Structure 1
Amino acid sequence: MISRIENERELVLERVFDAPRSLVFQAFSKAEHLKHWWGPRGWTLTVCNIDFRPGGVWHYCMKCMDENQGDFFGFESWGKAVYEEIVQGEKIVYVDFFSDAEGNEASGMPSTRVTLEFHELEGGKTKLLNRGQYDSAESLQKVIDMGMMQGITETWDRLAELVADLK
């Protein structure tokens, strides 16, 4: 995975997946796929309600099921995404929030405006480009300090494993 920070408040991530663009896109748009890869290793989506359309909401809960993760074991992390734009097979734009079990945004936590672009490459591969925009450099630094880079790396590793199994 390639990562870089642009304009102090935008994190850009890129990775090539050995799977067709339609399959990688589908992994982001269907609950039955998200349940198998979203979140770092040792975490499971125990709730995954998705209304995949502009204006729709994805509300989810990641729970740490790995006893080896110490204090994180049993911890729940709720999130909520509101979809702004969807171009089938090509692009997904959403705002991602930390939330509670009822879907209320968590106060004091940064939100991220995420733009995912799915680029078809030769040989049936897909380049995923993820642009995460934050309100401030401090908000971006806060999620980095929370371990987001390790989490997204493990999450995308799990995505690569899922699409390999599905193709």
Structure 2
Amino acid sequence: MKTQTKVDGNDLILIRHIAASPEAIWDALTDAEKLKQWFVPKPWTITEAVIEPRPGGRFLTKMVGPNGENEDCGPSEGCVLEADAPSRIVWTDALSGGYRPNETPFMTAIMTMEADGNGTLYTARALHRTPEDRQKHEEMGFAEGWGTVAEQLAAMVER
């Protein structure tokens, strides 16, 4: 299966079959050092990551472009709402770790990993408050960006 993306109301959805176990994908998603290797489209990099896969835990990343873009910005911090290893993790940027409110919420992410034959059906859903927020995320390159990182994740765990 190739990567598929679709719109469902205010949600953007990416679906991809990955020839690896849900446990391998969970590990790549919840181990900060592994997440740094695939969670942003290359040539961008993640220079800082903290993942605490438990309700109330931190989900923090700092993404930097190849020409230093975003270097002066602080990391983006979210809060894990659900962590059900190895099948589902949910986090939001509406909150930071410990359920502290953030200033400018944009989305909630739901990642599911469902065993499927010789691999896993990986689904990433980005929930937005308004159609305008969803459209902004589309225009930011959701399909291309999240599709690229799904490819990078697959390359990492299918080795």
Counterpart for residue 113 of structure 1: 108
Counterpart for residue 8 of structure 2: 6
CA apart distance, 1:57: 0.7
What letter matches 1:118 in structure 2?
M
Counterpart for residue 143 of structure 2: 149
TM-score normalised by length of structure 2: 0.86
For residues 111-155 of structure 1, give each alpha carbon's deviation from its aligned partner in whole angstroms, at most 9, with x where no partner exists: 1111111110112x0001122110011001011112222211111
- For the 8 Å contact 2:81–2:91, the answer to whether it is kept is yes
- For the 8 Å contact 2:30–2:53, the answer to whether it is kept is yes
5+ residue gaps, structure 1:
66-72
Counterpart for residue 38 of structure 1: 39
CA apart distance, 1:52: 2.0
TM-score normalised by length of structure 1: 0.82
| 1:25 equivalenced with 2:21 (yes/no) | no
What letter matches 1:29 in structure 2?
T
For residues 34-67 of structure 1, give each alpha carbon's deviation from its aligned partner in whole angstroms, at most 9, with x where no partner exists: 01111011011111122221100121111112xx
Counterpart for residue 84 of structure 1: 81
Task: Show structure 1 runs of 4+ deviating over 4 A.
Answer: 103-106
For residues 74-97 of structure 1, give each alpha carbon's deviation from its aligned partner in whole angstroms, at most 9, with x where no partner exists: 112632221001111111111136
CA apart distance, 1:162: 0.8
Count, aligned residues:
151
| 1:55 equivalenced with 2:56 (yes/no) | yes
What letter matches 2:113 in structure 1?
F
- Residues 106 and 41 (structure 1), Cα distance of their counterparts in 2 relative to 1, 3 Å cut: farther
Counterpart for residue 68 of structure 1: none
Q: Compute the RMSD of aligned alpha carbons.
A: 2.2
- For the 8 Å contact 2:14–2:143, the answer to whether it is kept is no
Which is richer in helix? 1
5+ residue gaps, structure 2:
none
Distance 1:155 1:104 in 2: 27
